[in-house]
Chain A
């Protein structure tokens, strides 16, 4: 994992999440990304820098442009980390199923 702290800190900003959502549609230049936001290009560039340093996006050089795209591996790393939490929670309730089944059979025995 590149760096979970950096990734989640980068995600903790609504504008940066909106930029990622835009990039989920495909590669885009800074100008294209800036368009829907009431923000200057340098402002957007700062956000892109944070996202790039967190490993969430990658940029390539094309003449004077530096188009950005999502770094799918970083996104799936975050997803894997979240999935661990989901699994732990699911496991608790699977165990609770067993506890409940045990309570039920105990009660039944008690009745006999």
Chain B
């Protein structure tokens, strides 16, 4: 579970990478199931996401609404472009503050660590989450111009890690 890294690629791309102690399947689910998204995609302390629409299919709508509990808030809308279960999500999104910012194009990749043995989880069900277990997930994001205009985020990818018992 490395801390996240933020790297720029040229002037307009940002790549975010993060590893998680879980399988790519789980990280993918946590990124596409509204009930799970509402538990973590909250930004600074004190914020909640009272509305979470996430239709995880090509053309499906995204709408996240955040609230600070003091009457403040903002929202994001988007559309899914492509989904490859447990491995890749491409979507477009924009913040409304309340005026919409230019579209961000985001590609999220979920990848298992190279040294991971996918079967380990099944073989050692008791090791979960403890010291003997290492799972990683990587998250990549980049910003690139949306149709030659504005910025677009690209990619949050998750790569799944390894496990040793």
Residues of A within 8 A of B (CB): 84, 86-93, 95-101, 103-105, 108, 111
Q: Which residues of A contact B45 (CB under 8 A)?
A: 91
**Interface size of B in residues (CB-CB distance below 8 Å):** 25
A104's partner among B6, B36, B129 (CB-CB below 8 A) is B129
Whether A108 pairs with B125 at a CB distance below 8 angstroms is yes
Given A98-B40, A99-B36, A108-B125, are A93 and B4 also a contact pair (CB < 8 Å)?
yes
Chain A nearest Cβ from B131, distance in angstroms = 13
Proximity string of chain B (44-79) to chain A, C-beta cutoff 8 Å, 1 when within and 0 when not:
110000000000000000000000000000000000
Most buried by B among A91, A100, A104, A105: A100
Contact flag A105-B43 (CB < 8 Å), given A99-B30, A100-B20? no
Are A92 and B41 in touch, CB under 8 angstroms? Answer: yes
Bound CA–CA A89/B40 (angstroms)? 10
Known: A100-B26, A101-B129. A95 touches B40 (CB 8 A): yes
Residues from chain A with Cβ under 8 Å of B27 in the complex? 96, 100
Q: Does B102 contact A (CB under 8 A)?
A: no
| A residues less than 8 Å from B43 (CB atoms) | 88, 91-92
